[in-house]
Structure 1
Amino acid sequence: MPLHVAKHPVGIESRVVMLKSMSNLESNDDVVMVGLWGQGGIGKTTLVKALYNSTFRQFEGSCFLANVRETSKGCKDLVTMQEILLKDTLLLQQRLEVSTVDKGEGKWFGNGSRIIITTRDKHLLTCHGIYQDHVYEVEALDDSQACEMLSKHASQTHQIIIDLVNGALNYAKGLPLALEVLGSLLCGETEDVWKSTLMKSSRNENEKEIFLHIACFFRGWKMEYTKKVLESCDLETTAGFEILVKRSLIRIESDILEMHDLIQLMGKDIVNQECCDDPERRSRLWLYDDVDEVLSNDKEDCAVKAIVLKLPEWTEMCIHPDTFTKMRRLRLLILHNVQDSFQGLLCLPKALRWFEWPGCVRRITGYSSGSMKLVGIDMSKASTTVVPKQFKDLQQLKYINFSYCKSLICIPDLSCTPHLEELVLSYCENLVEAHESIAYLEKLQVLTLDGCSRLGVFPNVLKTKRLRCLHLTNCKNLERFPDIPHKLESLTLLSIEGTAIKELPSSIENLSCVFRVAYPSLGFQSTIILLMHL
C-alpha cells in the first residue's frame, strides 16, 4: 500500500523527479544508496514518502522504516528494526528472529536495490560511503511555494497570503512544518486576526510567554511542575496549554511537555533575536556562558525576566554580590548544580516569583526592603544558615521546599504565609520540631515530612481543612497523631509507615469514602494508610 505523504504536497513532484534520476532506477548493475539531508521540518520524510510511493512497485520487496533516530537507541532496538526490514522486504507472514545486530550489513541487498536515507547530518552520509552525486540537500520552499502551502493549510485565498507573508512570515523561511503550523493556527480566522496574529500583537501575549518559556526551558519537564512555576509568574496555563496544543506548538505525553525540534529552535531564535550580542538585553537565558556573563556583574537596567540553568554536574560560578538587586525585571530564577563560592547575603528583587537553587550557600535574609512577591522557593540541600528564620516579607508564598536540609532543627514560624499550599521538608534528618503555625495554615494542601527521623514535636491539633496529602513515612520518633476537630473531606493520602503512631483520630473515619491499605501497628495488612475519594 502507498504511504500517506502530506495533506498538501506543495513542491514535491519536481523534487521526486530529481531523486529518481539520482537513484539511477534503470540500472540493475549495482546497489545504489541515496542520502537526503537538511534541517528538521524541512520536509525530508515527506519527500522520501513520495519517492517511495512512485517507485516501490518496481521492486520485488520494499520497506519504509520511520523514526529511525528515536527508535534506534540501543542494540535491541536495532535488532527489532532489522527484523522489520527482513519481514517487509521478503514479504514474510511473521518476523525472522535476528539474535544480534552484528548479523546485518549492506551485503544483504541484491544488485538493483536502492537504499534511501534521510538525516540532518550530511557527514553521516559521506562517512558511510554515499558519494556526493548521490547526496541531495533538501532546501526550503521558495516564496511562491510558501504562499501556496500556507494558503492551503489556512483555507484562505492565495492573494491574502501573498499580501501578508511578505511582511510577517519571514521567520518561517520556507520551512514546510512552520508553514503548516502557522496555517493551522490561522485557519478560519478573519484577515484582521491574521494581521494581528502574524504581527505578534499583544492579544496572544499569555500563549506567547508560555510558548517561549517551554521552548527555552521546560521542554521535557513535568507539566504539573511547570504549571506551578508559570502560574506563579501570573500566566494562565490551563487555557494557554490547551491553545498551544491545538495549534500543534506543544504536545503533552504522560504529563511531560514536548515539542518538535524545529518549533523549539524557532522559539529560542525569537529570544536570541531580541539582542544577539548582549545577553543582558534578552528576556530569557538558558546557556551557561550567557548566565555566567550576566550574573558576574551588576550592570543597571538588565532586561532578563527568567533564568533557568540546569547543569549536568556541579559547576562553580562567580556571582556578583549585588547582581540580583539590579535585575528588577527578573521573575523566574532556577539554578541546578551551580556552586557559588561567595557566602554573603542574597538580596533578591521584589518582582521575583519563583526561586529555585538546591544546594545554595547564600543566606537569603537580606531581602530587598519591603514585601516580596515570591510564590515558590526551593532551597533543598541548603545549610541551616541559608534557611530564613522568619517569613514576614514573603507573604505570597505558596510553595516551600527545604528538603535534605540536614542542619535544620525546627520548622520556622510560618504564620506570615497565609497562602501556603505545599510544604516539603523531606529527609531533614535533624528536624525535631514542627512549629505550631503549621496547624493554622488554612490553604495548606500538601505536607511532606518523610524521612525526618528525629521529628518528635508535632502540633497537637491540625485545623487546616484543605489538606490533601500528609506524608510522615519513617518519622520514627513521632508517637502521636494530631487531633483533627473537623471532617477532612479533602484528604486523599496519608502515609505513616515507619512511625511510632498507635492511634488515629476518629475524625479520619468521618470521610465520605475511605479506602484503607493498612499499617501493622493499627491492625491492618500492609504498610501505609491510603485515603481516597472515589
Structure 2
Amino acid sequence: MFCRSAFKQNYPPDGFMELASEVASLAGNLPLGLNVLSSYLRGREEEDWMDMMPRLRKSLDGKIEKTLRVSYDGLNNKKDKAIFRHIACLFSGEEVNDIKLLLADSELDVNIGLKNLVDKSLVKVSDGTVDVHGLLQKMCKEIVCTQSSEPGEREFLVDSKDVCNVLENNTGTKNVLGISLNMDETDELHIRGDAFKGMSNLLFLNFFSSREKEVPLHLSEGFGQFSPKLRLLYWDEYPLKFMPSKFQPQNLVKLQMWKSKLEKLWDGVHPLIGLKEMDMYASHNLKEIPDLSMAINLEKLDLSHCSSLVELPCSIQYLQRLRDLQLAYCKNLETLPTGVNLESLYKLNLKGCTLLRKFPDISTNMSKLYIDKTGIEEIPCNVHLENLYDLKMRGMSDKLWDKVQPLTQLMTMLSPFLERLVLSDIPSLVELPSSFKNLNQLEDLRITDCKNLEIIPMELKLECLTSLDFKGCSKLKTFPDISTNISWLDLSRTAIHEVPWWIEKYSSLEHLLLNGCNNLQSVSIELSKLEHIKEVEFSDCWALTEATLNDIPNALPLAMRKASFKFNNCFNLDQEALLQQESVFYKSIQLPGEEVPSYFTHCCTTGTSLTNIPLLERAPSQQVFIFRVCAVVSNSAPRFGSNGVDIQVNCRFKGRFENSFDSVGEPQRFWVPMKDSHLLIFGCCIPLNKDTSAPLAQLNYEHVDIQIHLGNTRIYLEGPKAPISNFMLKGWGIRLLEDCSSPENPNNLPQYVCEAEEHNMGYETERSEESVDSNVETERSKKRMRIV
C-alpha cells in the first residue's frame, strides 16, 4: 500500500528499500499513517528522504496527529486520559493485572478506564496484555511535551535526550511521575548525585537496554536519593555494588535489576507489603538476598544466573503467596532452606544448579519442577508428586540413574495427570518400563540421548500424546504406533532403518524430523495423507539415496503447499529423481549441490536477473503468477552451525508497448549448513494486484523480468555486533507453473500448482553473466496475460 502510493509501483526502487521499510515501520503499518507519509514523501529524491528521516523518527506528521487526537480528545473523563498517558508512555506491552497493581493507589479507576480506552480503540487488550499502537504512543508523548517547555516539569520523561539532560543537570521536579529511558539510544549517561532529589513524586523508573554492549554510566558522588513513593524500579545493568544507603523500597510493586553489578541490595527488614515481583536475573555478583519476611505478597522471585549466590535466606518460608521461584544456573547454590516447601509454590526451576546434591523438600502442590543438570544423586522414597504435570530431568548425575531399571522408582512417584516429561542422558536405560502406560494424560514425551535405549513396549498407547522426541537414542531401531494425535515426531540420530508405515495415519502430524539417521537408505511416504504437514527433515542422512514423497492418486489438499523439506548434506540422494516427482505441494526443498538441476529451465549462473521470459496464457480471474525458484547458495564467512539467508524475488511484467507492472513476492527464509553449497528451492507466488488503477489493469503483458535478492538473517554472537555470515549466489533458475484452476485441468490437481511442461521443455534459456534473454517466439509465447 505504501509503495503503490509513494512510488506508484509495488516495491521500492533501487536505493529506497531500507528507507521505505523504516517509514512503513514508523507508521506501524496503520493505513492512515501509510497514506499520509507516502503522500508526504512522494516524488522526492533519495537525499530528501534521508534528510527527512530524523524528523519523522522523532515526531508525527501534523495531519496524522490531528486525526489520531480525535479519539483522545473524545474521552470525557480526565482520569481516562491520565490512564492512557500512563499506558502509552510507560506500560504498553505490560499485563493488565500488573498495570492495575502499579496504578492501584493513584485514584485512577483503572478497571472502567481500560474499558473506555478499548471502546475508543486507543488500546488493545489481547491475552491479558495491553498494547498501544506505535503512532498513538508517539501522539501521546507529544501531548505530554505540551505540558511544559521544560522536560523536568512534565509528568513523564520518555525521550532519551530529555532524560539525559534532566539527570545530568538536576532539573527534575515534583511533577515527574515516570521515567523511561531506552539506553540503546544514548552513548553514555551522566547522573548527578542529587538528580532524583527534586522528583519527590517519582513512581516509575525504567532504564532498559537490549544491546550486549554496556552503556558507560557516570554517577556523581553521593548518588542515590530515590523517591520513597517509587512503585516500579527497572534498571538493566545497574552499575553499583549496593543500593543507595537511603533507599526506601517499602512502596515497591516490581523490582527488576537484570545483569546488575549488585552484591547486596539493602540491610535490615523493610515492610515490603506491596512487592509482587523481584527479578535479579544474571546479577552475577549478587551474594546475598535481603530478609524478605515482610514481603508477604511476593509472587515471583527470579534469581536465575546469579552465579555468586550460595544460599537463600530462611525468611523465604514466610512467603506464603510465592508461586514462581527461579534459581536456574545458580552454580554455587548448594542447599535450599527447609521452608521452600511452600504450599503456594507452583513452579520451581533449579536447572543448572550443579552443586545441588539433595532433592528439594517440596510441597505436594508443586505443578512444574525443572531439575535439569543438577547434581542430585538420589530421589527420596517419600517424595510424592501427585499434582505435578511438568517435569524436566535432562543431563542429571549418572549416579542418580545407576540402577538396572533406572526409571522404576521415578514412575511410582509420578502423577497419572502428568502432561510433560523430559528426560535425557540415562546411560543405564535399555528398555522403557511398561508402567509408562499409566501416564495416560501425557502430551509431551522427550527421552533423548539415551545411548543404550533399544526397546519401547510395542503395546504402549498414549492417546493424548502430541509431541514425541527420541532423538539421539542411537540404538533405537523401531518405535510403536503410540498415538495417532502426534503433531511433532523427532527420531533424529536413531538407528531407524525405515519410516514406519503407520506414520501415514498421523493426520495431525506437522513436523517429522529424521536428521542424522545413517541407517536410512530410502524413504517412501504417502504425504498426501498428512494434511497438516509443515516440515520434513532428513538432513545428514548420509546413506540416503532415494526419497519418494509423493503418491497422489488424484488431488491434493491446498494446505500441502505449506510443507518444507530439508535434505542438507544428503550427498548421495538422487536429486533429479526427487524433483521430477509430481510433488507439486511443497513450500521449499533444501539439497546439497553446486549447480541448478536441469529440472529448472530458465537459468543464470552469475547474474541476479532473468529477462524477457515469455508468459503463458492465464485465466482472466488469476491473481498470482506462479513458478519455482532454485538458488545455489554458499556461505563465504560461516561462524557456526546453520546460518540464515533471506531470499526476495521481484517481477516486472512487460507489454509490447513498453508498458510495465511491478510486483513482489513474499520473502523466503532458510537455515543452511555452514559448509558446502546448497540448493534452496521454493515455490513463488507473485501477486497480480487488483488494486492498480483502472487503465493499468486493462493492459496486456507478454514477458516478465525476474530478479532475485539475497540478504543475511542477522544473528549475533556475544561481543561486538556483526553479521555472522555472508551468503553468495552461485547460480539460480526458475521453472514456470501453469494455472490449473480451469475446468480443462486434466489431472484435477489443486489450483495454481500444475507443471507447465510444454512451455518449460521448449524454452530452456542460455546461461549468461548478467541476464537471460529468451526471445524465441512460438504460438504459446505470443499469447498474452491480462492483469485484472
Query: Structure 1 pair 298/182, CA: closer, same or farther in 2 (3 Å)?
Result: closer
Alignment match of 1:308 (pick from 173, 177, 180): 180
Residue 401 (1) aligns with residue 279 (2)? yes
Partner Cα separation in structure 2 for residue 285 and residue 291 of structure 1: 6
Residue 127 (1) aligns with residue 44 (2)? yes
Task: Answer whether contact 1:364 1:387 (CA < 8 A) is retained.
Answer: yes
Partner Cα separation in structure 1 for residue 349 and residue 243 of structure 2: 27
Q: Partner amino acid for 2:370?
A: S
Please give the per-residue CA displacement for 1:426-463, whole angstroms capped at 9, x wherever unaligned: 11112111221112211212111111111102112424
Alignment match of 2:189 (pick from 302, 307, 317): 317
Partner Cα separation in structure 1 for residue 343 and residue 180 of structure 2: 35
Please give the per-residue CA displacement for 1:223-263, whole angstroms capped at 9, x wherever unaligned: 36963773576566555444322321112456664434443
Partner Cα separation in structure 2 for residue 63 and residue 404 of structure 1: 46
Please give the per-residue CA displacement for 1:448-486, whole angstroms capped at 9, x wherever unaligned: 1111111102112424222122111111111223334x5
**Aligned counterpart, 1:413:** 291
Task: Answer whether contact 1:361 1:386 (CA < 8 A) is retained.
Answer: no
Please give the per-residue CA displacement for 1:281-332, whole angstroms capped at 9, x wherever unaligned: 1100111221122212445843100000112267322211122232111000
Residue 457 (1) aligns with residue 329 (2)? no
Aligned 1:216-295 pairs, distance under 5 A: 216-219=89-92, 221-223=93-95, 227=99, 230-231=102-103, 234=106, 240-252=113-125, 257-275=130-148, 277-295=149-167
**Aligned counterpart, 1:341:** 218
Alignment match of 1:427 (pick from 277, 290, 305): 305
More strand by share: 2
Residue 358 (1) aligns with residue 245 (2)? no
**Aligned counterpart, 1:387:** 265
Aligned 1:41-190 pairs, distance under 5 A: 118-122=35-39, 124-127=41-44, 175=66, 178-179=69-70, 181=71
Q: CA RMSD in A?
A: 4.3
Task: Answer whether contact 2:277 2:300 (CA < 8 A) is retained.
Answer: yes
Q: 1:354: how far off?
A: 0.7
Larger radius of gyration: 2
Partner Cα separation in structure 2 for residue 174 and residue 428 of structure 1: 46
**Aligned counterpart, 1:40:** none
Alignment match of 1:367 (pick from 229, 240, 246): 246
Residue 472 (1) aligns with residue 350 (2)? yes
Partner Cα separation in structure 1 for residue 384 and residue 185 of structure 2: 45
Partner Cα separation in structure 2 for residue 224 and residue 374 of structure 1: 18
Q: Partner amino acid for 1:398?
A: K
User: What SS class does the counterpart of residue 312 from structure 1 fall into?
Assistant: helix
Task: Answer whether contact 1:233 1:331 (CA < 8 A) is retained.
Answer: no
**Aligned counterpart, 1:509:** 385
Task: Answer whether contact 1:301 1:326 (CA < 8 A) is retained.
Answer: yes
Q: 1:381: how far off?
A: 1.9
Q: Partner amino acid for 2:121?
A: S
| Structure 1: segments with no counterpart, 5+ residues | 1-32, 38-47, 49-61, 75-116, 130-170, 186-196
Partner Cα separation in structure 2 for residue 178 and residue 505 of structure 1: 66
Task: Answer whether contact 2:94 2:131 (CA < 8 A) is retained.
Answer: no
Residue 526 (1) aligns with residue 422 (2)? yes
Q: Partner amino acid for 2:260?
A: A
Aligned 1:438-457 pairs, distance under 5 A: 438-457=316-335
Partner Cα separation in structure 2 for residue 474 and residue 527 of structure 1: 15
**Aligned counterpart, 1:134:** none
Query: Structure 1 pair 372/460, CA: closer, same or farther in 2 (3 Å)?
Result: closer
Q: Partner amino acid for 2:41?
A: L
Task: Answer whether contact 1:232 1:353 (CA < 8 A) is retained.
Answer: no
Percent of aligned pairs with the same amino acid: 26
In the comparison of the two structures, how many residue pairs are matched? Answer: 368
Q: Partner amino acid for 2:189?
A: M
Q: 1:531: how far off?
A: 11
User: What SS class does the counterpart of residue 206 from structure 2 fall into?
Assistant: strand
Task: Answer whether contact 2:65 2:139 (CA < 8 A) is retained.
Answer: no
**Aligned counterpart, 2:204:** 332
Residue 499 (1) aligns with residue 499 (2)? no
Task: Answer whether contact 1:455 1:477 (CA < 8 A) is retained.
Answer: yes
User: What SS class does the counterpart of residue 120 from structure 1 fall into?
Assistant: helix
**Aligned counterpart, 1:9:** none
Query: Structure 1 pair 531/472, CA: closer, same or farther in 2 (3 Å)?
Result: farther
Q: 1:508: how far off?
A: 4.3
User: What SS class does the counterpart of residue 213 from structure 1 fall into?
Assistant: helix
Q: Partner amino acid for 1:227?
A: I
**Aligned counterpart, 1:376:** 254
Q: 1:498: how far off?
A: 0.8
Partner Cα separation in structure 2 for residue 286 and residue 456 of structure 1: 43
User: What SS class does the counterpart of residue 318 from structure 1 fall into?
Assistant: strand
Task: Answer whether contact 2:331 2:353 (CA < 8 A) is retained.
Answer: yes
Query: Structure 1 pair 447/172, CA: closer, same or farther in 2 (3 Å)?
Result: same
Q: Partner amino acid for 2:246?
A: Y
Task: Answer whether contact 1:440 1:463 (CA < 8 A) is retained.
Answer: no
Q: 1:217: how far off?
A: 3.2
Q: Partner amino acid for 1:245?
A: V
Task: Answer whether contact 2:258 2:283 (CA < 8 A) is retained.
Answer: yes
Partner Cα separation in structure 2 for residue 385 and residue 346 of structure 1: 16
More helix by share: 1
Query: Structure 1 pair 518/302, CA: closer, same or farther in 2 (3 Å)?
Result: closer
Partner Cα separation in structure 2 for residue 223 and residue 451 of structure 1: 27
Query: Structure 1 pair 425/233, CA: closer, same or farther in 2 (3 Å)?
Result: farther
Task: Answer whether contact 1:314 1:339 (CA < 8 A) is retained.
Answer: no
Task: Answer whether contact 1:296 1:318 (CA < 8 A) is retained.
Answer: yes
Partner Cα separation in structure 2 for residue 492 and residue 373 of structure 1: 31
Q: 1:423: how far off?
A: 1.1
Please give the per-residue CA displacement for 1:177-210, whole angstroms capped at 9, x wherever unaligned: 554x479x7xxxxxxxxxxx54x44xxx1x4333
Q: 1:347: how far off?
A: 2.1
Task: Answer whether contact 1:402 1:425 (CA < 8 A) is retained.
Answer: yes
Q: Partner amino acid for 2:371?
A: I
